[in-house]
Structure 1
Amino acid sequence: MSIQKNDNTIVIHKASIDDQKIIADLGKKTFDQSYGTFFKNKKNLSEYLESSFSLDKIANSLEKSDNLYWLVRDKQDDAPIGYAKVKLNSPSEFIDSNHVSKLQRIYLLKGYEGKGIGSELHHFILEEVTKTDSTHIWLSNLKIKSQAVAFYKGKSYQIAGEHRFTIGDETFDFWAMYKCLK
């Protein structure tokens, strides 16, 4: 399935195993662009990028039926500019429901933010997840990324709790945010 944004600038389509290299490359680049400056020890960042976005790890993730991936392409030159991943059936300690999905990744390359593409992708994701039995969607958002927190609050997400995530010898504080779907 693919859609075209109203002004025909992007195409969103469901990713397949054939897209593993594109997703791995986008994952490394967009994660670095989004979070790289928050790492004090760049070795932690590079090791995380290599392990989390290896071709094998992405391929295994793409093959799981509960994982949904989408690629965003610039319609002008068909270049991949972002991607998203949702894990269906992903309960959270912060949400009192068994029908929960997690928005694990939604990233755009630097230079594509602030153009409405993230909102369009998010809207598309919600439409797709609403077709499942999920009643809620949740995500983790780095607390100090106030612009991202504001983005999700603007989409009616609420803060449900907080948690920490450790990469190498660095620990980061996150908000768990959720939204009711039904």
Structure 2
Amino acid sequence: MTNALIIRLAMVDHASALASLGRATFKQAFAHLFQDHDETLERYLEQTFTLNKIAKSLLKPNNKYWLALIDEKLIGYAKLKLRSSHPLCRGRRIGQLQKIYVDSTEIGGGVGRALVKIIEDEARRQLCDRLWLSVHEGNAQARGFYEHIGWRDIGQDTFAIGELQLSYRIMVRDLES
């Protein structure tokens, strides 16, 4: 018997759990990019996934987070950032699927799809007509997933973490009402 997936809106009292899961899932997804740069990775995790930083982000009116749980165990989360454009993706009503992380043991089980659907539905409710996201250029599995569910690649961007320059693909999804 499979256990039911529950998606719920995150509140500020979830900040600690989000910070812990964020650290763990980021490391699962990207540690291989930091070979010979362990200190850079640890610094990034310590700066990005602090309790204070996540709590402040949860309180911003343009940010909405959702938690994915199975048997009350947090296995993933996603973040929608409203009114967030990108030089390759402009418009009046743009949102960003800014974060989506799922524990590596749960990938392929529908958690990512459920989180993306929640983000897209909320973006429509907030009258966004387009969403964008960035996905690491080397993550063919994630890029294929987004293409399969209707997102399209519109170009490349880079992001620096310490001395590392990482290449990303920018993907968009036009939202019909």
Same fold, TM exceeding 0.5?
Answer: yes
Aligned to 2:149: 155
Aligned to 2:46: 50
Shift of 1:26: 0.6
Give the Cα separation in 2 of the matches to 1:14 and 1:27: 16
Give the Cα separation in 1 of the matches to 2:43 and 2:90: 35
Given the alignment of the two structures, is residue 87 of structure 1 paired with residue 72 of structure 2, yes or no?
A: no
- Superposed counterparts of 1:102-113, under 5 Å: 102-113=96-107
Moved more, 171-180 or 93-102: 93-102
Shift of 1:96: 3.5
Aligned to 2:67: 71
Given the alignment of the two structures, is residue 138 of structure 1 paired with residue 132 of structure 2, yes or no?
A: yes
SS at match of 2:118: helix
Q: Which runs of 5+ in 2 are unaligned?
A: none
Code of the aligned partner of 1:114: G
Percent of pairs with identical residues: 34
TM-score (norm 2): 0.95
Code of the aligned partner of 1:174: Y
Given the alignment of the two structures, is residue 31 of structure 1 paired with residue 17 of structure 2, yes or no?
A: no
Give the Cα separation in 1 of the matches to 2:162 and 2:34: 10
Given the alignment of the two structures, is residue 169 of structure 1 paired with residue 166 of structure 2, yes or no?
A: no
Given the alignment of the two structures, is residue 11 of structure 1 paired with residue 26 of structure 2, yes or no?
A: no
Return structure 1 stretches of 4+ with deviation > 4 angstroms: none
Paired residue total: 174
Give the Cα separation in 2 of the matches to 1:163 and 1:120: 27
Give the Cα separation in 1 of the matches to 2:89 and 2:159: 19
SS at match of 1:91: coil
Give the Cα separation in 2 of the matches to 1:119 and 1:35: 20
